[in-house]
């Protein structure tokens, strides 16, 4: 097995010599560290994501620096403006559309947060926006290598964020190596290869389905909106008569949907989704559509059609490819007006919005929750 041998000169200070005497250590003027390097030539196979993982002191960073000296990036090495929006810190050559699409793709889909300086974001938001910048600044002919991957964020956020990042890397055709001590991200990151320096074990992996995400859905009081309002991309206002539902993951509130009656001259027995908000820590795993599908299927079982009008690019893309939603109105700035138009489905003519109708099957599973009182 190959090894990497590191030598560091030690100054023989008074304290060093005292310590040698206390513990009967052999005098030495060098510290020598050997780290196993049992990684094959990576160019022999096509891959997108690699993972170097193991406990602290296993030599992960040493190996990463040896293999990817020019590509190595520390997440805390980026310079962020103190008084500018995070979108202004991305490469100048990227259009605003490219920047926002990249941010959304890694699970950072909150436009109000895009306008804030980096230091005002939460740890989870900082992690995702930094990963987006890593990918933005790494060409497709290079490998993005990140040390201390997910080391300073909540583990639920780390797993969900890893899945969103992995999808983005593969979609963009980039190469990425994560270096870290947490094994819990592996099944979410879905690496093509894994190396554990402390055992010298290298193995090629194959793509598996990510772990399932279980939602617990509840009817909620209006006050629940207070925890979600600042993350909505348009306004903090919410109609007091809205029926509010909250989805939890592992007992943590993750998303909110507000439902209102659709008052319309032509469409009967219909509801509309007034608000859909997914908290930043849970973005990037398709939670919004999964939550909407479950709720709208129950409304259909009650005899209601459900519509939504949105201007959020990520949600429009998701609904466009979903088999459970049909396009009710293509993206446009002003709704059509006339005897066949569907008034009430468009909340603003100032933005580009799109309308969708739930086209999935009815499901009575959530009927007790819809009938419950908050």
Burial class (CB in 10 A: 0-12, 13-18, 19+), 69: exposed
Give CA angle at 155 (215, 135), nearest 5°: 100
pLDDT (0 to 100) of residue 142: 85
Selecting from 3.40.30.10, 3.30.420.40, 3.40.47.10, 3.40.630.30, what CATH number does the domain 216-371 have?
3.40.630.30
pLDDT (0 to 100) of residue 232: 83
pLDDT (0 to 100) of residue 237: 81
The residue assigned the tokens 């050559």 is: 93
pLDDT (0 to 100) of residue 34: 67
What tokens were used for 27? 């005098």
Mean pLDDT per block of 10 residues along the chain (374 residues) reads 68 88 83 68 88 89 81 68 95 93 89 92 92 89 89 89 94 93 94 91 86 92 92 79 94 95 87 93 90 97 95 88 93 57 46 91 94 75
Cβ atoms of 357 and 307 within 8 Å: the answer is: yes
pLDDT (0 to 100) of residue 313: 82
pLDDT (0 to 100) of residue 346: 42
Q: How far, in Å, CA of 215 to CA of 366, rounded?
A: 12
Cβ atoms of 109 and 283 within 8 Å: the answer is: yes
| Region 40-204: CATH code | 3.40.50.300
User: Over 65-103, what HEC string results?
Assistant: HHHCCCCEEECCCCCCCCCCCHHHHCCCCCCHHHHHHHH
Sequence-ordered list of residues with C-beta below 8 angstroms from that of 96, at least 6 positions apart, any chain: 87
Sketch the domain layout of the chain as residue ranges.
1-37, 40-204, 216-371
Give the rounded distance of the alpha carbon of 160 from its chain centre.
6
pLDDT (0 to 100) of residue 26: 82
pLDDT (0 to 100) of residue 266: 83
């Amino acid at each position: 097995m190959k090894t990497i041998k590191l030598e560091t000169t030690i100054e023989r200070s008074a304290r060093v010599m005292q310590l040698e005497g206390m513990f009967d250590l052999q005098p030495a003027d060098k510290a020598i560290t050997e780290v196993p390097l049992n990684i094959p030539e990576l160019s022999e196979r096509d891959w997108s994501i690699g993972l170097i993982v193991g406990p602290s002191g296993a030599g992960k960073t040493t190996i990463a620096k040896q293999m990817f000296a020019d590509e190595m990036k520390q997440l805390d090495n980026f310079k962020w403006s103190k008084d500018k929006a995070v979108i202004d810190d991305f490469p100048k050559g990227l259009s605003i559309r490219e920047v926002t699409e990249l941010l959304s793709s890694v699970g950072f889909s909150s436009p109000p947060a895009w306008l804030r300086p980096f230091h005002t974001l939460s740890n989870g938001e900082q992690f995702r926006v930094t990963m987006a910048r890593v990918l933005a600044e790494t060409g497709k002919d290079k490998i993005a290598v990140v040390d201390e991957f997910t080391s300073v964020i909540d583990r639920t956020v780390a797993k969900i964020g890893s899945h969103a990042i992995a999808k983005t890397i593969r979609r963009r055709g980039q190469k990425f190596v994560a270096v870290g001590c947490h094994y819990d991200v592996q099944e979410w990151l879905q690496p093509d290869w894994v190396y554990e320096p402390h055992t010298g074990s290298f193995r090629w992996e194959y793509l598996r389905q990510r772990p399932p995400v279980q939602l617990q859905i509840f009817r909620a009081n209006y006050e629940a909106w207070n925890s979600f309002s600042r993350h909505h991309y348009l306004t903090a206002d919410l109609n007091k008569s809205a029926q509010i539902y909250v989805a939890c993951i592992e007992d943590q509130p993750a998303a909110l949907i507000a439902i209102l009656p659709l008052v319309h001259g032509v469409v009967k027995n219909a509801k509309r989704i007034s608000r859909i908000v997914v908290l930043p820590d849970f973005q990037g795993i398709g939670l919004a559509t999964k939550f909407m599908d479950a709720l709208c299927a129950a409304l259909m079982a009650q005899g209601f059609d459900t519509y939504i009008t949105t201007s959020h690019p990520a949600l429009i893309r998701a609904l466009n490819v979903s088999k459970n939603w049909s396009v009710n109105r293509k993206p446009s700035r002003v709704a059509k007006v006339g005897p066949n138009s569907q008034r009430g489905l468009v909340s603003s003519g100032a933005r580009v919005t799109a309308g969708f109708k739930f086209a999935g099957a009815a499901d009575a599973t959530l009927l007790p929750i819809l009938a419950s009182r908050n």
